[in-house]
Structure 1
Amino acid sequence: MTANGEPILEVEGLVKHYPLTRGVLFKKQIGAVRAVDGVDFALGRGETLGIVGESGCGKSTVARLLCSLERPTAGSVRFKGEDITRLSGRALKAVRRNIQMVFQDPYTSLNPRMTVGDIVGEPYEIHPEAAPKGDRRRRVRELLDVVGLDPDYVNRYPHQFSGGQRQRIGIARGLALRPEVIVADEPVSALDVSVQAQVINLLARLQTEFDLSYVFIAHDLSIVRHISDRIAVMYLGRIVETGRDAEIYDHPTHPYTQALLSAVPVPDPDARERRERIILGGDVPSPTDIPSGCRFRTRCWKARERCALEVPALAVPDVFREGGGPAAHDSACHFAEERRVVPPEDPGGPEAPQATVNGNGPG
C-alpha cells in the first residue's frame, strides 16, 4: 500500500545484471555488472516518487526496466497487478501505451530528420487505435499548446528550438497516448536553472490536468523535493532509504542520505555558514565487485564489523520503531541515527561543526 491507496505500479526484487565475457568465438562469462541489485517500491495513483543518487547508482537502468526497454535479470514490475516483465507482443504493446518515458537529453532524444509534428504524432502511428488518422494533426497541435509551445511549430525541426523547448516537445510526445504513468529520467539535468524551474512547474501542472503518476529520477535533491511526494535514495544498485519528502529532507537516518543532503546548495548565507558539511572519502565501489554486507560501509564513518558481515534490511530501524515520528521510515543501516544536516534558519543559532569523512572512522 502507498499513501495514495492501492499502487498502480509495484516493483519487487528488481535485478539487472550485465554479463562480462571473455573470448571471441567461445565467450565465457567472467563476471557481471550489477547495475540494479534488488529494488522494491510502489507508486500510488497521482503520486510522484523521486529516485535520487549518484551517477552510476542504477537510476536510469530502473527507468528502462519500468518501461520494458530492457528485460530484468530477476524480479517483477506489476502494472495494475499484472507482471509486465512476462509480457511480449501485443500484450506488452498495450501496456507500454500506459507507461511512457521522458528522456534525459533533449538534444539526442528527438530525431533531427523529423518535424515536431511527426515526432509528437509518431505514437499514433504505433498505436493507431489511440486517435483516428484524420484527427491526429489537431491532437498534435493541442499537445504543443498544452506544454506551452506555439501550435504553428508543427512544421519546424528540433534544431530550431532551445533545450527547454525540446524537452517540452519530449513531454508532449510522452503525453500523446494519455498514459497513466510517466517515467522521467533526469528530465531537467541538461537545462539551465531558470528553465529547470519552468519544466518542473509544467510537469506539476500536467500531473493534475492529466491525472498522472510520476517516477521522477534525478541526482539533484533540491529539484526532487519540489515535485516528489515520496523519495527513494539509491546507492550502488539498491535503495538505502525511503520515505515522505519531509522525512527524508528534515529527518534523514542513513549516512549516505545525510551526505547527499549536506551537498545541496543553501540560498540563505547565514544558514549556509551554520550547516554541517559531510565529505565522503574514497570512490564508489565498482558494480562488478560489490562490498560484502552493507555496500556503503567502505565510505561510511559509522562502519563496524557487523556492517561487513550482515546486509542491512530496508525497514524502519528498531531505535525509531516504538517512538514513531518522522524518523520512523525505512532505512537500510545497522546504526541508523537521525541527523539534521541543514539547521533551521535561525540567525541566532549555534554554528554547526564541519564533519569530514574518510571512510574509515569519524572525521
Structure 2
Amino acid sequence: MAEGTGGATGGVRGGVSGGGTGAEAVGEPILRVRDLYKHYPLTRGILFKKQIGAVRAVDGVDFDLAAGETLGIVGESGCGKSTVAKMLVNLERPTSGSIAYKGDDITKLSPRALRAVRRNIQMVFQDPYTSLNPRMTVGDIIGEPFEIHPEVAPKGSRRRKVQDLLDVVGLNPEYINRYPHQFSGGQRQRIGIARGLALRPEIIVADEPVSALDVSVQAQVVNLLERLQDEFGLSYVFIAHDLSIVRHISDRVAVMYLGRIVETGSDAEIYDHPTHPYTQALLSAVPVPDPAARERRERLILTGDVPSPANIPSGCRFRTRCWKARERCALEVPLLAVPAVFRDTPTPAAHDSACHFAEEKRVVPPETPPPENRPPESRPGE
C-alpha cells in the first residue's frame, strides 16, 4: 500500500543549528527529572533467593523539559534511554529519584491521581508492527484511550474524533475500519502517533519512533512530528540512535552512556562544539554526505566493549574505552557540569560535560559549498 504523505510538510530544515521548532526553554519546566535510578536485582537460588548484585540500567539521570521544547536523548544500545522513557510514562517504577510533572512527583501519586497525569504524558513506541494489536481495527486502536478517559470524548462523538485524528496524521479517515496488517510501516507509525494524540497530551515520549522505518519514510514521520508540535503545543522527549535525526528535531540534546548523561547542551553546542570524548566518538561515526568533508574528518575508533551495567567501572564509567583516561579517571567520578577550562570563557563549549579532561574538538567538518555558492576567490582556476 502506498505510504501516506499528508503529514510530510516540508523538507529537512537547514541552517546552522538545525534545532526543533519548539518554544525556547523559559519559565518553570513542565517536566523535571532528578536523581533517577532504575536497578534490576540479580538473584541466586530457587527457594531462598539471595540478591548478589544489580543491573544498573539507569544510574542517576537529571534533566528538565520546558513547555514546547524537544529534548533529544542519544546513546548506544543498552545505555538506558528506553528505560528512562518507560519510567517517564510510569511503565517502569524507578528504584529511586523523582519525576515531577508541573511540580507533582508522579512516582508518589495515588493510582487515581496518576491516571489523570497519564493523560498528559503519552508515548510513541519504537516498533510500529508490535505496538498495534493486530486483532483490533484502526478505529478501535485510536479510540481505546477514550474508554479509559471517557470525559475526553462521549461515546457519540468518538468515531468522528478518531477520523479527525487520522486526518491530522495524514491518513485517509475512511481507513477507520481497516486492520494494522493492511498498512505500511510508516502508516502504522502514524496510527501510533494518532493514538498518542487522542487525549490531547502536553508531553509525548517518542522512543526511537523512526528507527524501524525506511529513510524516506523517516523524514515524513519526523516532519509530521514537527508539524504536530506547532499545532498542538507539544513537548517531546525524543529518543533515537540516528544523531542526524536528533539534531534535526531537537532543541537540546543529552548524550547517555551506561546509565548516565555524560554531556548535554543545545544542538549547536553538542554537534559543533562537543567536549566529551564519547560524544566526539559518536559524532565521528555519523555518515557525512559531502565527499570533501568526509575526507577531512577525523575518525575516532573506540576500543573494547561496553562494560556490563552489572559491573560498572569505578570512577568515570567511560574510562575503559577512552584515549584520555588517566589515574584520576579511575578514582574520581566526574560531575556533569561546565568544565573548569570553559567556565570563564564565552564559548559554545561552555556546556555541561562529565569529563575530567574535557576538550573542545570539532569532529564533523563543515560541508564544502558547491562551486556556484563559493566566494569568487575560492573558486578553482581564478
- TM bin (shorter chain): over 0.9
Aligned to 2:122: 100
Once the two structures are superposed, residues 312-343 of structure 1 have per-residue CA deviations (whole angstroms, 9 ceiling, x without a partner) of 00000000000121000000000000000011
1:184 aligned partner, one-letter code: A
- Maintained 8 Å contact 2:290/2:368: no
Q: Is 1:286 matched up with 2:312?
A: no
Aligned to 2:377: none
- Maintained 8 Å contact 1:49/1:231: yes
- Residue 87 of structure 1, CA deviation: 1.3
Distance 2:191 2:295 in 1: 41
Aligned to 1:125: 147
Aligned to 2:291: 269
Distance 1:76 1:35 in 2: 16
Distance 1:61 1:27 in 2: 25
1:129 aligned partner, one-letter code: E
Q: 2:266 aligns with which of 239, 244, 249?
A: 244
Aligned to 2:110: 88
Distance 1:35 1:137 in 2: 41
Distance 2:248 2:369 in 1: 25
Aligned to 2:170: 148
1:208 aligned partner, one-letter code: D
Tell me, what secondary structure is at the counterpart of 1:279?
A: coil
Distance 1:27 1:345 in 2: 58
Aligned to 1:52: 74
Distance 2:80 2:191 in 1: 26
Distance 1:257 1:73 in 2: 27
Q: 1:232 aligns with which of 234, 237, 254?
A: 254
- Residue 3 of structure 1, CA deviation: 2.6
Tell me, what secondary structure is at the counterpart of 2:151?
A: helix
Q: Is 1:210 matched up with 2:246?
A: no
Distance 2:27 2:252 in 1: 14
Aligned to 1:301: 323
Where do residues 129-140 of structure 1 align in structure 2 (5 Å cutoff)?
A: 129-140=151-162
- Maintained 8 Å contact 2:25/2:67: no
2:270 aligned partner, one-letter code: I
Aligned to 1:66: 88
Once the two structures are superposed, residues 292-319 of structure 1 have per-residue CA deviations (whole angstroms, 9 ceiling, x without a partner) of 0000000000000000000000000000
Aligned to 2:19: none
Once the two structures are superposed, residues 140-198 of structure 1 have per-residue CA deviations (whole angstroms, 9 ceiling, x without a partner) of 00000000000000000000000000000000000000000000000000000000000
Once the two structures are superposed, residues 224-282 of structure 1 have per-residue CA deviations (whole angstroms, 9 ceiling, x without a partner) of 00000000000000000000000000000000000000011111111111111111000
Q: Give the TM-score normalised by the residue count of structure 1.
A: 0.94
- Residue 344 of structure 1, CA deviation: 2.1
- Maintained 8 Å contact 1:271/1:347: no
Q: Is 1:182 matched up with 2:204?
A: yes
Aligned to 1:354: none
Q: Is 1:8 matched up with 2:30?
A: yes
- Maintained 8 Å contact 1:315/1:330: yes
Aligned to 1:344: 366
Aligned to 2:219: 197
- Maintained 8 Å contact 1:102/1:170: yes
1:153 aligned partner, one-letter code: Y
- Residue 346 of structure 1, CA deviation: 4.2
Q: 1:310 aligns with which of 313, 332, 337?
A: 332
Tell me, what secondary structure is at the counterpart of 2:325?
A: coil
Aligned to 1:23: 45
Once the two structures are superposed, residues 198-220 of structure 1 have per-residue CA deviations (whole angstroms, 9 ceiling, x without a partner) of 00000000000000000000111
Distance 1:347 1:224 in 2: 23
- Residue 345 of structure 1, CA deviation: 2.7
Tell me, what secondary structure is at the counterpart of 1:335?
A: coil
Aligned to 2:357: 335
Tell me, what secondary structure is at the counterpart of 1:258?
A: helix
Which fold has the larger relative contact order, with Cα–Cα distance below 8 Å and residues 6 or more apart in sequence?
2
Query: How many pairs does the alignment contain?
Result: 347
Aligned to 1:75: 97
Distance 1:219 1:328 in 2: 25
Percent identity over paired residues: 85
Query: What value does the CA root-mean-square deviation take over the aligned residues?
Result: 1.0
**Which blocks of at least 5 consecutive residues in structure 1 are unaligned?**
349-363
